[in-house]
Structure formats: structure tokens, C-alpha cells
Amino acid sequence: MMTEKNLNNKHALITGGGKGIGYAIADALLAQGLNVTIAGRNEEVLKAAMKSLSSAHGEPGIAYIVLDVSDSKAVEINFALAAQQLGPIDILVNNAGQASSAPFLKTDTAHWQQMLNVNLMGTVHCTKQVLPVMLEAGWGRIINVASTAGLTGYPYVSAYCAAKHGVIGLTRALALELATTGVTVNAVCPGYTETDIVKEAVSNIMSKTGRTEEQARAALASGNPQQRLVQPSEVANTVAWLCQTQASAITGQSIAVAGGEVM
């Protein structure tokens, strides 16, 4: 990934930044010279991530905040704290997400509400907090880590798919609304990626079908024409590119990082 001096000391906040794709994004953006705040619900996970990132990149310019993105008040309070620590937030990566599976007729209202609260409304709450400062500055990047589930359908995850389709719709609408402001809004849509969510999916397949771990992983990878799982670093590099000033003409896009699964 080409580094860019214009990004030095800009402040990126990454929700769900303590592990998986979020951690890989933090790693990539720190390598670009940005200051980075990672956010998540588990303070111990965030502390461990910060220690690892500090070891790789040096301590200055890294911070964490503890919050649940579905709680609008917690987002408001903790985003303000992040801005006090490392300056105004120039780049927001809405990566926090949650997935769980069930047949449609067994997906109750609480399940639907949880998927919408975390995956869609969490993105809304966080975006509302950073947008005024970005508009004042005349520059900003909002990158929503959606999913190929926001571009197509998958069985047994109707609530998750609906929420992620909502994120894609929000991305497109907001990109048009902000098109002349210097703020771009894009979505990155990973296919099945080596994360804890995929580990849980593998476990579910094993328990429900009696398949081995290798068979379960192969089943998930089979939808990818490259016949493999995506790596978090591949998603992170796409996010890092969208952050660059050279990507200023890219807005309203939903970029699939999925080996050709969705075109």
C-alpha cells in the first residue's frame, strides 16, 4: 500500500477495532501515518489490541474507547472523548457488526431488532457524531464495512442481510447528499473472511451437520470463485485506499472484497 503524506496525523476512528477486520484496518491506517482510535465493547480486547499495535507502530497516536454502537448516548460521549485525545475525527470506519443465523420463521422480533440496532443504527449513530466536523473541515472519509450480504441474499440470515442492505442504501444516499462537500461515503463488502464471525459459522455448521472443521470451512469458501476465505488484511488495504486523497472521486460505491463472488 502506497503511503500518503497528506494523511499524516489525521485521526481515524474504527468501530469494532479490537480484532479481526477492525484490527487489520487499524494496523493499515497506522502504517499510513494516521492517528487511530479503536472502539469496541470489550475493554480487555481493546487493551490487548492497543498493546500489539503500539509494539508495531509506536505508542503515540493510538487510543481506545469502550462503547456499544447501538447506544447513541454512549457513542456521543465517547466520540467526544476520542476527539479530545487525538483531535477531530477525519475518517470514520463503521466496522462494528454482529451476525447470527436462524430460519426466517424462527427469527423473532428481538433478533431482528438486535441486527438492525448494531449493523444499521450503529452506523447511523456514529456517522451523525463525526459528520458536522467533517463538513466544517471540508474533508472527510466515511467507510462502512458492510458485507456481500448487503449486495445479495443468503439463507438463514434474513435479518442480517436486511440490515446490511440498509447500510448499502445509507451509503448511496449519503454519498449523493454530501457529493460537493469533500466528504466521501463508501462501503466495503467482504465475503466470508477469517474472523470470529466465520469461526462461529464453522462451529454452527459442524454442530448441525456433523461435518469436520475442514469440511465446514470448505463449505463457506465454496461460494468464493477463488475457493478460499478472504483475509482481513485484504479488506484493510481496500479501506486504506479509500482513505487516501487520491480516492476523492470514489463515493457512493459498494466494493466487494470477495474473490469475484459478487459482480
Secondary structure element (H or E) that encloses residue 38, with its range: strand 35-40
pLDDT at 201: 80
Average pLDDT, stretch 150-175?
97
Q: Is 222 found in the same domain as 236? A: no
The pLDDT tens digits of the residues spanning 185-219 come to 999 999 989 887 778 888 888 888 888 888 888 88
- Radius of gyration of the chain from its Cα atoms, rounded to whole angstroms: 18
Distance CA(72)–CA(69), nearest Å, equals 7
pLDDT score of 138 more than 60: yes
In a domain, 258, yes or no: no
Q: What's the order of all strands across the beta sheet hosting 183-190?
A: 62-66, 35-40, 11-15, 91-94, 140-145, 183-190, 254-257
User: Residue 2: which pLDDT band, with cuts at 50, 70 and 90?
Assistant: very low
Q: Is 216 found in the same domain as 110? A: no
In a domain, 206, yes or no: yes
DSSP H stretches of helix in the chain: 20-31, 43-57, 72-86, 109-115, 122-137, 158-177, 196-209, 213-221, 232-243
In a domain, 79, yes or no: yes
Domain count, the chain: 2
Across the chain, mean pLDDT equals: 94
Q: Is 176 found in the same domain as 210? A: no
User: Residue 4: which pLDDT band, with cuts at 50, 70 and 90?
Assistant: low
Q: Is 210 found in the same domain as 183? A: no
Query: Percent of the chain beyond pLDDT 70?
Result: 98
Q: Is 186 found in the same domain as 96? A: yes
Q: Is 156 found in the same domain as 131? A: yes
Q: Is there a catalytic annotation at residue 160?
A: yes
116: CATH: 3.40.50.720
The pLDDT tens digits of the residues spanning 15-67 come to 999 999 999 999 999 999 999 999 999 999 999 999 999 999 987 799 999 99
Provide the domain limits for residue 132.
7-191+231-250
Q: Is 175 found in the same domain as 105? A: yes
Distance CA(211)–CA(57), nearest Å, equals 41
For 93-102, 179-188, 200-209, which range has the lowest pLDDT when averaged over its residues? 200-209
pLDDT score of 1 more than 70: no
Q: Is 144 found in the same domain as 197? A: no
Q: Which of 23, 64, 160, 192 is catalytic?
A: 160
pLDDT at 28: 96
Q: Is 30 found in the same domain as 103? A: yes
pLDDT at 3: 53
DSSP per position, 76-101 = HHHHHHHHHHH-S--EEEE-------
For 74-83, 137-146, 184-193, 201-210, which range has the lowest pLDDT when averaged over its residues? 201-210
Q: Is 134 found in the same domain as 33? A: yes
pLDDT score of 234 more than 60: yes
The conformational region for residue 18 under phi > 0 = left, psi -120 to 50 = alpha, else beta, is: alpha
